[in-house]
Structure 1
Amino acid sequence: MRNDPTILIADDEPALADGHAAQLEAYDVRTAYDGAGALEALDADVDVVLLDRRMPGLSGDEVLERIRQRDIDCRVVMLTGVEPSVDIVSMGFDEYLRKTVSKRELEATIERMCDRSTYDAKLQEYFALASKRAALETEHPQSELEAKPKYEHLCERLEAVEQTLDTVLTDLPEEDGYLVATDDPASTQSDRSVN
């Protein structure tokens, strides 16, 4: 990862996109106000995309699909007002944030994404899956989620990836927020390793 990450902000509300850009002045920031503009602004120099889901023309979901089809090695954060449903299980994003977010949260998320770019593919998959699970569990009661096959599949896949990673997870920085997301809430810090 370069020392000066490039961030692409795509949101159809120009005031919001420009506001985020102003908050992230320490980075090289590009802005786009629709899906087509986001794809035009996207190239191999972009490290992190902050992507709204609801945009006219090409939606954020469609933009995300095209980013992954282009095989550009960037992290994608869905930054949206859309409540996550189990449909997010099949989406190729790395993090899901609900609007509105503070400057501090934006910066912390970008730093996490930049760190994750240095991880291998399996670790990146682990954190993307854990982010989806955390987003769903934050917005929906467990009883509702457990009735959804897609959620069950997500949990099974996450567990399978955890088992392949084994002790690698214990060596990750504490700031990388999802070590705890897959553990039992009653577990202690010393228990938060993958057996």
Structure 2
Amino acid sequence: MSETAEEDLPVALLVDDEKEVADAYALRLRGLCDIETVYDGQTALDHIETGEIDILLLDRHMPGMSGDEVLDRLTEAGFSGRVIMVTAIDPGFDVLDMPFDDYLCKPVDREDIRDAVAQQCEILGYETLGEYFSAASKRSVIETELPEEKRTEHDDYQTVVERTEQLRDRATRLLDDAEQLFDTFEGIEREGR
């Protein structure tokens, strides 16, 4: 990923009750993503419910709501990003049933945390592209076949329009080559002859 303005970067939320540790990891991620740092599980869920977070870096052992509890509540909180556990807890067989995408044992060096976040951003970027291409194909065929006055009155169509715009923005934030991929997609003739 290139060095760009913060609003163009993936958004990461780092959750750790040890302020110094969280702030140190946040510094290591500077320039790679727009990093937000919180120090407890409930505040993490509040952030997730109010904003689009691409990558969640989550400590397991925290007072109050543990990282494991946060992990269990992500779906109901509307989280659609990737989760990296960053923790001092040595993994056991319990991790086999936990819905995370990567697991880093503390202490984590600068390059490892940056590489893990970059990798998860790329994975999420391509997942997002898949969703975008599916929604954009539907949007395109409707725009080709139905007049604008019918489209503007159809709620499901408007939902697809909004969703494609959100997905395009997210993919652009996550992937350096997104615009080239959009151009290729848009260059495919989908209209009947």
**What's the TM-score once normalised by structure 1's chain length?**
0.58
Residue 107 of structure 1 corresponds to 114
Point out the structure with max Rg over C-alpha: 2
How much has 1:45 moved relative to structure 2?
1.8
CA contact (8 A) 2:58 2:84 kept: yes
Q: In structure 2, what is the Cα distance between the partners aligned to 1:22 and 1:109?
A: 15
Cα deviation, 1:63-95, whole Å, max 9, x if unaligned, reads 011112333211000000101111111111000
What is aligned with 1:11?
16
Is there any run of 5+ residues in structure 2 with no aligned partner, and where? 2-6, 129-193
Query: Judging changes above 3 Å, is the alpha-carbon distance between structure 1 residues 70 and 37 closer, same or farther for their aligned structure 2 residues?
Result: closer
Corresponding residue for 1:88? 95
Cα distance change on mapping 1:85 and 1:44 into 2, 3 Å? same
Task: Choose from 18, 25, 32 the match for 2:30.
Answer: 25
1:40 aligned residue (26, 35, 46): 46
C-alpha contact 1:49 1:75 (8 A) present in aligned 2: yes
Give, in whole Å, the separation in 2 of the partners of 1:5 and 1:75.
Answer: 11
Normalising to structure 2: TM-score of the pair?
Answer: 0.59
Cα distance in 2 for partners of 1:120, 1:28 equals: 20
Give the direction of change, closer, same or farther, for the CA distance of 1:112–1:57 in structure 2 (3 Å limit).
Answer: same
Question: Does residue 66 of structure 2 align to residue 59 of structure 1?
Answer: yes
Q: Give the fraction of aligned pairs with identical amino acids, expressed as a percent.
A: 39
Point out the structure with the larger helix share: 2
What is the match of residue 186 of structure 1? none
Count of paired positions: 122
Superposition map of 1:1-195 within 5 A: 3-26=8-31, 27-42=33-48, 43-120=50-127
Aligned CA-pair RMSD: 2.1
CA-to-partner distance for each residue in 1:9-48, whole Å, 9 max, x for gaps? 0001000001111111112111111111111222442110
Cα distance in 2 between the residues matched to 1:44 and 1:116: 20
Report if aligned partners of 1:68, 1:92 keep a CA contact under 8 Å in 2: no
Which structure exhibits the higher relative contact order, with contacts defined as CA atoms closer than 8 Å and separated by 6 or more residues?
A: 2
The offset of 1:118, in angstroms, is 3.0
Unaligned regions of 5+ residues in structure 1, if any?
122-195
User: How many Å apart are 1:120 and its aligned residue?
Assistant: 4.3
CA distance in 1, matches of 2:61, 2:95: 14
